[in-house]
């Protein structure tokens, strides 16, 4: 497992018992180690998800031709690939990396305490998460193969074996998702309790760094939204395995109920992953523009408002599912409204940058890219949030391009931003800036080359989840096929450049130039601990005297002012 | 949060008002009896009040006296209230599709065709304004489906 | 494992253990809320379910309500004893609570055996599907509560970790409250 390569320098003698290899890497209760376990597991699964994307895009570009590194893609294969890609990227990449890995690693460090409040519960959360990944992996090897009913798993397709043809796969998928939910519920409780209670003396609510607030709000959002879906998952599992009819119209059930149960969670879920990414961007842009965050409280209140509003928009995923049109009216209004707080946050970030002394380090490049790319995603969402235009766009590639322009910034750009920024703290060494910039530019340019054309294809009528357009003459024109090939080739380029990051990441972990505690001259508390921090993080535990963004304060020699400096 | 418990006399120690838990339990049992007897009269409003209304009251009593929500920090109350509010929100957003089986221009044939006994009207009546948890049943004005 | 200093801080004004249990309860509210909300929607839309519900055993349900209420009493008395520092007494009261949970489960198993052998199975119709699912998930929470309570009682008997008596009690009261609503929802035929 990947965490065996996690390298930690924290053997500085503390007079503690010497930890065995197993105790340190597999049975640790230290939040930093658990964070790395989530990180490596999530990154590994992300690579698997990316491989699936490669395979199904190759099928799109060259339908019917065997894909190098996979073989012939059948219709059932295609469905399983897209289902697994979506599920993995959201549940087994975005959430573990953005929330569990960064949350675990950063929270105790940034609020100035020695660990999470429940370290053993923390370890258990990871183990349940790992189990969920194993269950998901198992679903690929059972008879019938992996579940192919899309990550949304709508019944009756997902409920009836005679429709989905993957009786074992569909139940294993559901079980994997349920286990993942339990892991994140437990983890979330740990995170929220820790931040509410264990802050360093002097750290008041508005002294908490934005990324920590975001992870807390995200955890609360998750906790509050996942309940109905857990209930629904039990109901669907029973429908699948013991023949109940919760979602079967012939038995008095209602498939639209599943849709509501799913999306009541599904919509807040996108903010669950968005908010931590926004938080990471906030930390980076303040550090590398040497400026205070333009409006801390605005960012905080708009995040909370977004979280609350996110519970009022979910049926925009169901505009054409046959819901009550009066509800469609309501949900249109609320959906268009929710773009306002997010836009405001982007404006606050831009205002933070304005007039600052910008340093274009690799993390800063990623943070800036996030803002630009996410704005495209957000703006295209408005077309989908309005129920009128959604009637046309629903289930086309326009939707797909929209949510990749939001999810890719969140899951991929956010991850790279956070990893390149906190790498010195995690591993005690520097990454190579030059190669980092190469990786950045090729990734960003190829990302746009993949997904911008998909807006066009979607508007032209490309339906989602179709494994072979040669069956649709109006969509199988040479021009449209050329666009599909172009997007696929851009994806191949994007994948080919990722090893640069991998080498940069792993090589420098062991052989990189040593980094000091505070290589970026930043204010927040994690930079006042050693790189990497040892057991207990701080000796002694810090006290806090000011907010996290006191950069370029007039009258001071230094352009930064750590939170725990008395003077 | 720890104060000597004195079963019978209230203490103002840290605002911790000591309750006689056995007395609370006795009240709960009386309410339980009422809530079982009430529905036996088979009058709808009486059933609603006794079975469900009393359930709310019992829950409140357990929460207040046994879970000590009356002396808990306000943040806890806000969290719980928010969760309950979200459940109403879920019900409000979902019930128009799941609960109603016919509208102005449509009917849910599968749901309407469910086996029913002679006692209930064809097409199901949904004019239940006071739903179990005080959740609002959205106003569904529709002419009953024609020619079922 | 040494308890981290983080666990001992309480910037929010209440101990971390209790705060965490409230968050657990908060997340359980939305789980049961989603399930029961779905049930209510179906129940209100299908008046014929009243005929199905007439076959539930109201007396068993009422008796089980009485059992759980009584077990909540013993749970809060356990808390009271723990507050006074009397671990063994708290453990005894927790034992009564566990016993109450056991009685609840035994009654339920007789109830369900009767119902299943008379054709009211989980697949008979959607009312029974909800009935078994809701009561089943609740029952799983009862079992989990009993197990955790047993561990805490064993510690309490040795006067260790007495603050956990209150915490498991909170969880138990929540499970009781869920049943307080389940009883009229499932057993009272309108």
SS3 assignment, position A371: helix
C-alpha A511: how far from chain center: 29
Q: Which residues of A140-161 are buried (b: 16+ CB within 10 A; e: fewer)?
A: eeeebbbbbbbbbbbbbbbbbe
Cβ within 8 Å, pair B79-C14: no
Structural domain includes residue A152: yes
Nearest to B93 among A252, A254, A327 (CB): A327
Residues A495, A501, A507, CA angle at the centre, nearest 5°?
Answer: 135
The secondary structure element, H or E, covering residue A194 is helix A167-197
CB contact residues (below 8 A), chain B span 73-102, against chain A: 82-83, 86, 89-90, 93-94, 96-98, 100
Which among A101, A141, A160, A180 is positioned nearest to A419, based on CA atoms? A101
> Cβ distance A455 to A380 under 8 Å?
yes
How many angstroms separate the most distant Cα atoms in chain A? Answer: 75
pLDDT of residue A22: 84
CA dist C96 and A339 (Å) reads: 54
- Percent of chain C past pLDDT 90, that is, above it, reads 91
Instruction: Work out the average pLDDT over A471-489.
Output: 94
Residues A359, A365, A371, CA angle at the centre, nearest 5°?
Answer: 115
Select the residue from C4, C5, C130 to test the A interface by mutation, using most A Cβ atoms within 10 A: C4
Structural domain includes residue A12: no
Positive/negative CA dihedral, A339, A341, A342, A344: positive
Q: What is the CATH number of the domain that holds A80?
A: 1.20.210.10
pLDDT at A7 over 90: no
Residue C140 — pLDDT band, cuts 50, 70, 90? very high
Count of A–B CB contacts within 8 Å?
A: 46
C-alpha A303: how far from chain center: 17
Find where tokens 């268009």 sit: A336
Instruction: Work out the average pLDDT over A53-78.
Output: 96
pLDDT of residue C29: 97
pLDDT of residue A252: 85
List all residues 6 or more positions away from A535 whose beta carbon is below 8 Å from its beta carbon. Answer: A10, A14, A16, A30
Cβ within 8 Å, pair B97-A252: no
Question: Over the stretch A100-144, which tens digit does the pLDDT of each residue have?
Answer: 999 999 999 999 999 999 999 999 999 999 999 999 999 999 999
Helix pair angle (B54-61, C163-187), 10° resolution: 180
Instruction: Work out the average pLDDT over A144-152.
Output: 95
pLDDT of residue B131: 36
Omega before A540 within 30 of 0, i.e. cis = yes
Find where tokens 């996690």 sit: A6
Nearest to B66 among C51, C76, C190 (CB): C76
Q: Which residues of A187-219 are buried (b: 16+ CB within 10 A; e: fewer)?
A: bbbbbbbbbbbbbbeebeeebbbbbbbbbbbbb
Structural domain includes residue A2: no
Instruction: Work out the average pLDDT over C36-61.
Output: 92
Q: Could you give the ipTM of this predicted complex? A: 0.95
Instruction: Work out the average pLDDT over C10-37.
Output: 96
CA dist C139 and C177 (Å) reads: 13
pLDDT of residue B49: 87
Question: Over the stretch A404-441, which tens digit does the pLDDT of each residue have?
Answer: 999 999 999 999 999 999 999 999 999 999 999 999 99
Question: Over the stretch B62-110, which tens digit does the pLDDT of each residue have?
Answer: 999 999 999 999 999 999 999 999 999 999 999 999 988 887 888 888 8
CA dist A125 and A100 (Å) reads: 10
Positive/negative CA dihedral, A256, A258, A259, A263: positive
- Give the gyration radius of chain B's Cα atoms: 22
Structural domain includes residue A81: yes
Cβ within 8 Å, pair C38-A235: yes
Residues B51-54: contacts with CB within 8 Å, 24+ apart?
B51/C184, B51/C188, B52/B132, B52/B133, B52/C184
Q: Which residues of C19-46 are buried (b: 16+ CB within 10 A; e: fewer)?
A: bbbbbbbbbbbbbbbbbbbbbbbbbbbb
Nearest to A260 among B97, B108, B111 (CB): B97
Instruction: Work out the average pLDDT over B134-148.
Output: 36
Which of chain B's residues have a Cβ under 8 Å away from the Cβ of C48?
114-117, 120, 124
CA dist A420 and A369 (Å) reads: 14
Q: Which residues of B82-100 are buried (b: 16+ CB within 10 A; e: fewer)?
A: bbeebbebbbbbbbbbbbb
Omega before A532 within 30 of 0, i.e. cis = yes
Instruction: Work out the average pLDDT over A19-31.
Output: 86
Which domains, and CATH codes, for chain C? 16-187 (1.20.120.80)
Q: CB neighbours (10 Å) of residue A434?
A: 9
Select the residue from C39, C40, C45, C189 to test the B interface by mutation, using most B Cβ atoms within 10 A: C45
CB contact residues (below 8 A), chain A span 239-268, against chain C: 242-246, 251-254, 257, 261, 264
- B139 inside 8 A of chain A by CB: no
pLDDT of residue C190: 62
Question: Over the stretch A434-454, which tens digit does the pLDDT of each residue have?
Answer: 999 999 999 999 999 999 999
Instruction: Work out the average pLDDT over C107-122.
Output: 95
Structural domain includes residue A53: yes
Q: How far is CA A20 from CA A24, A118, A309, in A?
A: 6, 22, 48
Instruction: Work out the average pLDDT over A56-83.
Output: 96
Q: Minimal Cα–Cα distance from B33 to chain A, Å? A: 31
Give the 3-state DSSP-derived string for A457-519, with helices as H, strands as E and coil as C: HHHCCCECCCCCHHHCHHHCCHHHHHHHHHHHHHHHHHHHHHHHHHHHHHHHHHHCCECCCCC
**Exposed/middle/buried for residue A450 (C-beta within 10 Å: 0-12, 13-18, 19+):** buried
- Percent of chain A past pLDDT 70, that is, above it, reads 97
Cβ within 8 Å, pair A541-C26: no
CA dist B59 and C68 (Å) reads: 12
CA dist A316 and A311 (Å) reads: 11
Residue A15 — pLDDT band, cuts 50, 70, 90? very low
pLDDT at A319 over 60: yes
Question: Over the stretch B109-122, which tens digit does the pLDDT of each residue have?
Answer: 888 877 754 333 33
SS3 assignment, position A396: strand
Which among A61, A55, A52, A49 is positioned nearest to A462, based on CA atoms? A61
**What domain count does chain A have?**
1
A356: left (phi over 0), alpha (psi -120 to 50) or beta: beta
Instruction: Work out the average pLDDT over A508-526.
Output: 96
pLDDT of residue B48: 85
Structural domain includes residue A19: no
List all residues 6 or more positions away from C8 whose beta carbon is below 8 Å from its beta carbon. Answer: C16
DSSP codes joined into one string, B37-106: HGGGG--HHHHIIIIIIHHHHHHHHIIIIIS-GGGS-HHHHHHHHHHHHHHHHHHHHHHHHHT--B-SS-
Closest residue in B to C168 (Cα) is B67
> Cβ distance C157 to C105 under 8 Å?
no
Q: Which domain holds residue A63?
A: 28-528
> Cβ distance A494 to A408 under 8 Å?
no
pLDDT of residue C1: 67
pLDDT of residue B142: 35
Structural domain includes residue A20: no
List all residues 6 or more positions away from B63 whose beta carbon is below 8 Å from its beta carbon. Answer: B69, C173, C177
Residue B18 — pLDDT band, cuts 50, 70, 90? low
Instruction: Work out the average pLDDT over C109-116.
Output: 96
Instruction: Work out the average pLDDT over C99-109.
Output: 97
pLDDT at A400 over 80: yes
pLDDT at B133 over 80: no
Nearest to C4 among A115, A243, A254 (CB): A115
Find where tokens 């409230």 sit: C22
Structural domain includes residue A103: yes
Question: Over the stretch A325-379, which tens digit does the pLDDT of each residue have?
Answer: 899 999 999 999 999 999 999 999 999 999 999 999 999 999 999 999 999 999 9
Residue A45 — pLDDT band, cuts 50, 70, 90? very high
Helices (H) then strands (E): counts for chain C: 7, 0
- Percent of chain A past pLDDT 90, that is, above it, reads 92
Q: Tokens at residue C144, please?
A: 């989990």
């Amino acid at each position: 497992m990947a965490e065996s390569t996690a390298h930690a320098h924290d053997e500085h003698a503390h007079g503690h018992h010497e930890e065995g290899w197993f105790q340190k890497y597999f049975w640790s209760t230290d939040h930093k180690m658990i964070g790395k376990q989530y990180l490596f597991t999530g990154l590994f699964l992300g690579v698997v998800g990316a491989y699936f994307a490669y395979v199904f895009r190759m099928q799109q570009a060259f339908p019917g031709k065997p894909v190098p590194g996979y073989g012939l893609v059948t219709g059932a294969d295609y469905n399983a690939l897209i289902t697994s890609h979506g599920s993995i990227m959201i549940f087994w990449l975005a959430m573990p990396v953005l929330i569990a890995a960064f949350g675990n690693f950063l929270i105790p460090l940034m609020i100035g305490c020695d660990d999470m409040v429940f370290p053993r519960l923390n370890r258990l959360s990871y183990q349940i998460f790992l189990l969920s990944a194993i269950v998901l992996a198992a679903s690929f090897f059972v008879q019938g193969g992996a579940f192919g009913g899309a990550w949304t798993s709508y019944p009756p397709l997902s409920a009836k074996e005679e429709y989905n043809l993957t009786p074992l796969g569909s139940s294993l998928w559901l079980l994997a998702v349920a286990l993942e939910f339990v892991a994140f519920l437990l983890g979330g409780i740990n995170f929220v309790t820790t931040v509410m209670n264990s802050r360093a003396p002097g750290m008041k609510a508005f002294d908490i760094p934005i990324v920590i607030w975001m992870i807390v709000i995200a955890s609360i959002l998750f906790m509050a939204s996942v309940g109905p879906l857990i209930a629904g998952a039990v109901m669907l599992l029973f429908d699948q395995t013991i023949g109940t009819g919760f979602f079967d119209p012939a038995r008095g059930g209602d498939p639209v109920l599943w849709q509501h149960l799913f999306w009541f969670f599904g919509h807040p879920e996108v903010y669950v992953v968005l908010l931590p990414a926004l938080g990471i961007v906030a930390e980076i842009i303040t550090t590398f523009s040497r400026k205070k965050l333009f409006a801390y409280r605005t960012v905080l209140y708009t995040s909370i408002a977004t979280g609350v509003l996110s519970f009022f928009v979910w049926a925009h995923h169901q505009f054409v599912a046959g819901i009550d049109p009066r509800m469609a009216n309501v949900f249109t209004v609320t959906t268009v409204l929710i773009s306002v707080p997010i836009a405001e946050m982007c404006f606050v970030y831009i205002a933070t940058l304005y007039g600052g002394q910008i340093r274009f380090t690799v993390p800063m490049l990623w943070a800036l890219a996030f803002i630009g790319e996410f704005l495209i995603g957000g703006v295209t969402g408005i077309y989908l949030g309005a129920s009128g235009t959604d009637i046309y766009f629903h289930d086309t590639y326009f939707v797909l391009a929209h949510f990749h322009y939001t999810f890719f910034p969140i899951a991929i750009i956010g991850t790279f931003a956070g990893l390149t920024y906190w790498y010195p703290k995690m591993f005690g060494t520097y990454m190579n800036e030059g190669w980092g910039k190469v990786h950045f530019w090729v990734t960003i340019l190829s990302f746009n080359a993949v997904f911008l054309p998909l807006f066009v294809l979607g508007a032209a009528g490309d339906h989602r989840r179709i494994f072979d357009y040669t069956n649709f003459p109006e969509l199988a024109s040479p021009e449209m096929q050329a666009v599909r090939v172009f997007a696929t080739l851009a994806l191949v380029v994007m994948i080919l450049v990722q090893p640069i990051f991998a080498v940069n990441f792993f090589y420098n972990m062991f052989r990189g130039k040593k980094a000091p505690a505070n290589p970026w001259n930043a204010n927040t508390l994690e930079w006042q601990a050693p790189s990497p921090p040892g057991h207990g993080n701080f000796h002694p535990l810090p006290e806090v005297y000011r907010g996290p963004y006191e950069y370029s304060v007039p009258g001071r020699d230094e352009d930064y002012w750590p939170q725990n400096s008395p003077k | 949060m720890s104060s000597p418990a004195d079963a019978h006399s209230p203490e103002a120690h840290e605002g911790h008002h000591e309750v006689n838990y056995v007395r609370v339990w006795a009240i709960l049992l009386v309410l339980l009896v009422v809530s079982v007897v009430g529905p036996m009269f088979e009058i709808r409003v009486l059933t609603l009040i006794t079975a469900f209304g009393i359930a709310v009251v019992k829950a409140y009593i357990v929460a207040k006296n046994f879970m000590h929500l009356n002396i808990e920090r306000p943040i806890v109350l806000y969290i719980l209230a928010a969760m309950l509010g979200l459940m109403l929100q879920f019900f409000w957003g979902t019930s128009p599709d799941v609960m109603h089986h016919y509208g102005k221009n449509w009917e849910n044939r599968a749901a309407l065709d469910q086996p029913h006994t002679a006692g209930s009207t064809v097409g199901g009546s949904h004019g239940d304004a006071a739903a179990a948890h005080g959740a609002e049943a959205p106003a569904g004005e529709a002419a009953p489906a024609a020619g079922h | 494992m040494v308890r981290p200093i983080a666990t001992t801080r309480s910037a929010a004004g209440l101990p971390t253990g209790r705060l965490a249990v409230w968050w657990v309860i908060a997340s359980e509210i939305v789980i049961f809320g989603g399930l029961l909300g779905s049930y209510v929607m179906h129940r209100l839309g299908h008046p014929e379910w009243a005929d199905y519900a007439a076959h539930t055993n109201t007396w068993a349900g009422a008796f089980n309500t009485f059992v759980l209420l009584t077990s909540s009493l013993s749970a809060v008395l356990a808390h009271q004893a723990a507050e006074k520092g009397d671990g063994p007494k708290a453990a005894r009261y927790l034992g009564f609570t566990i016993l109450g949970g056991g009685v609840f489960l035994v009654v339920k198993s007789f109830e369900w055996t009767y119902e299943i052998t008379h054709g009211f199975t989980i697949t008979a119709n959607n009312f029974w599907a909800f009935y078994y699912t809701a009561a089943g998930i609740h029952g799983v929470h009862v079992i989990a509560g009993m197990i955790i309570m047993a561990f805490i009682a064993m510690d309490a008997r040795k006067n260790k970790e007495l603050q956990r008596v209150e915490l498991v009690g909170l969880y138990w009261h929540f499970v009781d409250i869920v049943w307080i609503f389940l009883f009229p929802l499932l057993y009272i035929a309108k």
